[in-house]
Amino acid sequence: MQAFLNKMRDSVTKTQVWKSVFRHGYEDTPRNRYLQVLDNVWLHLHPTRIPRHAGYVRFTWCMGGITFLLFLVTAVTGVLLMFYYRPTAEYAYSDMKFLEFDVPFGMFLRNMHRWAAHGMVITVWLHMFRVFLTGSYKPPREFNWVVGIILLTATLLLSFTGYLLPWDQLSIWAVTVGTNMARATPLLGHEGPFGPELGMRPDNDVRFVLLGGTQVGPPTLLRFYVLHCIFFPIFLCIFIAVHFWRIRKDGGISGPL
Amino acid sequence: MDNLMLILGKPDNIPIIMMLVLFGFFTWLWWREARKNDKLIREGRYCELQAENNDRIFTWPYLARIEFLAAILVMVILTVWSIVLDAPLELPANPAKTPNPSKAPWYFLGLQEMLVYFDPWIAGVIFPTIIIVGLMAIPYIDRNPKGNGYYTWDERKFAISTFLFGFFALWIALIFVGTFLRGPGWNFFAPWDYWDPHKVVAMVNVDLHQFFGIRSSVVAFLFGGFVVTAYFALGVLYYYWKKKTDFVQKLGAARYGVLAFLFLCMMGLPIKMLLRWLFNIKYVWITPWFNI
Ligand code: HEM
C-alpha cells in the first residue's frame, strides 16, 4: 500500500510540469525552510531567518501586517464596488440603494469595505503606537518612521475622500465640515489670515480648488472619487513598497543591540 | 441616557469603542513588557535581551504561521462585523438641510473639538500641519540612544510621557468628547442629558485683555502680542537656565529650538482649555488679521 502511494506521489511530483512550478521539496529540512521563503514571491519580502523576538505577537502586535491586510481587503472590495457605483450626483445615492437591496451580497460588500477602512485607521494608529514604544524610529530607522507618517496621513485622506461617496446626508455634511477648514488656510483661504489681503475669494481660494466649487457639490463628488479610487491607492502602494523595502534595508525588525 | 445609547449605537461610532478597548489592552501590554525589561536592565541582565535578538529562528514556519493565523483571525472578525452591522446610509444629500450638529468623520473629531478653543486657521490648518511635521521630526529630535528595539519606561520617561499625553489626552480624548459629548450647536452635553437643540448657553467669554481691564485696542494688540511672544520666549529662557545640563547639551541649539517650539505648541492646547474652563477666556491676542 505504502509503495503504491509513493509511486502515485512520484508520478505527480517527478514530472517536468510539477518541477517547473515547485522548485523544492516539502520535507522538513533547513534547506527547504530557506527555499520556502526565498522561492516565494510573497514570502520573500521576509528574511529567511528572523530574531527570536520578531516572532512574538507581544513585540510587534502584528499591527503593521494587519494594516496591510486591511488595505488589501479595501482594495479588493473597493474594485468590486466600483462595478456598481457611478460618481455623479444623479446616480451615486441610488447606486448605494441598489447595492443594498438588489446586488447579491452587495450590502455585505459595502460593509466589509467600510469596516476594513475604519479598522485600518485604528490599526495604523496602533502600529505607530507600538513603533514609538519600542523606540524603533531611532537610528537607523529614522526615515522609515517619516515614510510611516506619510502612510498615516494618506490612510486618513483615503478614508476621508471615501466618506463622501455614498452621497447621503452623513457624508456630505461630514465632508463639508472637514473641508470648511480650508477656507481658513493662512494666505490661501478667503477667511484665513492675510488671505483676503492676497485677493482670496470664495471662488478662487484653496477650498475652491479642493471642492471644484464654492460648496460640496457634484464636482466635489467626482474629484473625491478620482482621489479615492486612483490617486490615494496608488500613492499608498508606492509608499508601502518603500516602507517594506526600507524595513529590510535598515536591518530588519528592530531589536536590542 | 437614551440619547447616549443612540450615539453609542451609531454604526460609525462602534469603531471608536473598539479602538478604546484595543488601546487599553495594548497600553497594558506595553507596561507589562516595559516593567519586565526594566527589571532585567536594573539587574544588569541586558545581555539576555540581546541574546534573544541575536538568536535567529526560521521565518518558515515560525513567522509565517503567525501571520497566517493573524490574517485568518482578522478576516473572521471582519466578516462577522460585516454581517451583524450595516454601514450607515442616511437620507440623500441635501445641501439645503444642515444637520445639527454636523460632525466630521470620527477620526477628525479631535480637530473639530479643537475649534472650541482655537480659530479654524489654527485648529484646522496650523495644528494638523504641526502634528504631521512634529511626528516626522521625532526621530531627529530624540537623541536618546537607549530603548531602541525593546519596550521600556525607565530609559525614556520624557519621550514616552510626552507622546502618551499628546496621543491620549489631546487626540483620543478629544475624539471621545467630540463624538459622545457634543450635541446641537456643538454644546457640551453630559451622557445623561437630553440633546436639546434650544439649549441656552450664556455668552460669558471675554478676551484676555478685557480680563485685565484693558480698553484701548492698540494696547490690547500690544498686550496680546507680548503674552504670546513671552510664552514662546519661555523656551529660550529655559535654554539659558538649563544650558549646562546633559539634556540640553546633547540636543544642541537647533534641535532644542525645534523641540521647544513643538512642545510649547502642543501645550498651548491644554493651556487654552484651562483658560476657557476657569476664566472664560476666548482670545489671548486680537489682531486685525487673526486671533489667537
Ligand atoms: C499603511 C500603513 C502602514 C503599513 C501597511 C505598515 C506596515 C509595516 C509592517 C508590515 C512592518 C513590519 C513590522 C510590524 O508589523 O510591526 C512595519 C514596520 C515599521 N513601520 Fe510601518 N506600516 C504602516 C504605517 C506606519 C506608520 C504610520 C509608522 C510610524 C509613524 C510606521 C513606521 C514603521 C517603522 C519605523 C517600522 C520598523 C519597525 C521595527 O523595525 O521594529 N509604519 N510597517
Residue A135 is part of a domain; what is its CATH number?
1.20.810.10
Give bridge partners of residue A168 from the DSSP assignment.
B92
Q: By CA distance, what is B20's nearest residue in A?
A: A122
A76 inside domain: yes
Task: Work out which ligand 1 atom sits closest to the CA atom of A125.
Answer: 27
Mean of pLDDT values over B251-266: 95
The answer, yes or no, to whether residue B3 has pLDDT greater than 80, is no
Query: What's the grid cell of residue B20?
Result: 478604546
What pTM was computed for the model? Answer: 0.95
**Separation CA B280–CA B275 (nearest Å):** 6
Q: Which residues of A touch B147 (CB under 8 A)?
A: 134-135, 138
- CB of B57 less than 8 A from some CB of A: yes
Phi/psi of residue A200, nearest 5 degrees: -75, 135
The answer, yes or no, to whether residue B217 has pLDDT greater than 90, is no
Block means of pLDDT (10 residues each) for chain A, length 257 residues?
Answer: 92 91 87 90 92 93 97 98 97 97 96 98 98 97 98 98 96 95 92 91 93 95 98 98 97 92
Q: Which of A57, A124, A126, A131 to mutate to test the pocket of ligand 1 (most atoms within 8 A of CB)?
A: A131
- CB of A27 less than 8 A from some CB of B: no
Q: Which residues of B touch A65 (CB under 8 A)?
A: 67, 70-71
Say if the Cβ atoms of B92 and A217 lie within 8 Å. Answer: no
3-state secondary structure of B187: coil
| C-alpha distances out from residue A85 to A13, A96, B110, B186, Å | 46, 7, 31, 34
| C-alpha distances out from residue A68 to A63, A137, A151, A195, Å | 9, 19, 11, 40
**Separation CA A191–CA B121 (nearest Å):** 8
Say if the Cβ atoms of B95 and A216 lie within 8 Å. Answer: yes
**Separation CA A153–CA B92 (nearest Å):** 29
Per-domain residue ranges of chain B = 202-292
The DSSP symbol for B205 reads: -
Say if the Cβ atoms of B152 and A149 lie within 8 Å. Answer: no
A49 inside domain: no
pLDDT score at A75: 98
pLDDT score at B190: 87
Whose C-alpha lies nearest to ligand 1, atom 9?
A64
The answer, yes or no, to whether any atom of ligand 1 lies below 6 A from the CB of A136, is yes
> B217-222 long-range contacts, Cβ below 8 Å, gap at least 24?
B217/B286, B220/B286, B221/B285, B221/B286, B221/B287
pLDDT score at A177: 94
- CB of B97 less than 8 A from some CB of A: yes
**Among candidate residues B265, B282, B263, the one with its CA nearest the CA of residue B203:** B282
Say if the Cβ atoms of B148 and A197 lie within 8 Å. Answer: no
The answer, yes or no, to whether any atom of ligand 1 lies below 6 A from the CB of A175, is no
A130 inside domain: yes
A16 inside domain: no
Q: Are B196 and B271 in contact (CB under 8 A)?
A: no
A170 inside domain: no
Q: Are B56 and A34 in contact (CB under 8 A)?
A: no
Residue among A31, A105, A181 with most chain B CBs within 10 A, to mutate: A181
pLDDT digits (tens, 9 = 90+) for B114-162: 999 999 999 999 999 999 999 999 999 999 999 999 999 999 999 999 9
A97 inside domain: yes
A227 inside domain: no
Q: Which residues of A touch B163 (CB under 8 A)?
A: 132
The answer, yes or no, to whether any atom of ligand 1 lies below 6 A from the CB of A74, is no
The DSSP symbol for A42 reads: T
Residues 6+ apart with CB under 8 A from B153: B31, B34, B35, B38, B160
Q: Which residues of A touch B89 (CB under 8 A)?
A: 96-97, 100, 166, 168, 170
HSE-CB for B252 with a 13 A CA cutoff: 7
Other CB atoms within 10 A of residue B199 CB: 14
Phi/psi of residue B58, nearest 5 degrees: -75, 135
**Separation CA A131–CA A142 (nearest Å):** 11
Q: In chain B, which among 129-188 make CB contacts under 8 A with chain A?
A: 132, 135-136, 138-140, 142, 144-152, 156, 160, 163, 167
> A35-43 long-range contacts, Cβ below 8 Å, gap at least 24?
A36/B60, A36/B64, A37/B59, A37/B60, A37/B64, A43/B59, A43/B60, A43/B64
Q: Are A131 and A148 in contact (CB under 8 A)?
A: yes
Q: Which domain holds residue A121?
A: 58-164+239-252
**Separation CA B87–CA B262 (nearest Å):** 38
pLDDT score at B1: 63
**Among candidate residues A88, A137, A143, A78, the one with its CA nearest the CA of residue A113:** A78
Does the bond joining B61 to the residue before it have cis omega, within 30 degrees of 0?
Answer: yes
- CB of A93 less than 8 A from some CB of B: yes
**Separation CA B103–CA A169 (nearest Å):** 11
Q: Which residues of B touch A34 (CB under 8 A)?
A: 58
pLDDT score at B200: 84
Say if the Cβ atoms of B53 and A256 lie within 8 Å. Answer: yes
Phi/psi of residue B201, nearest 5 degrees: -115, 125
Q: Are A133 and B151 in contact (CB under 8 A)?
A: yes
| Alpha-helix runs per DSSP H in chain A | 2-13, 16-21, 30-38, 57-60, 63-82, 92-101, 106-133, 142-163, 169-180, 206-211, 218-226, 232-249
pLDDT score at A226: 98
- CB of A25 less than 8 A from some CB of B: no
Count the residues in chain A.
257
Closest partner residue to B125 (CB to CB) among A130, A185, A215 is A185
Domain count, chain A: 1
- CB of A138 less than 8 A from some CB of B: yes
Pairing of strands A49-51, B56-58: antiparallel
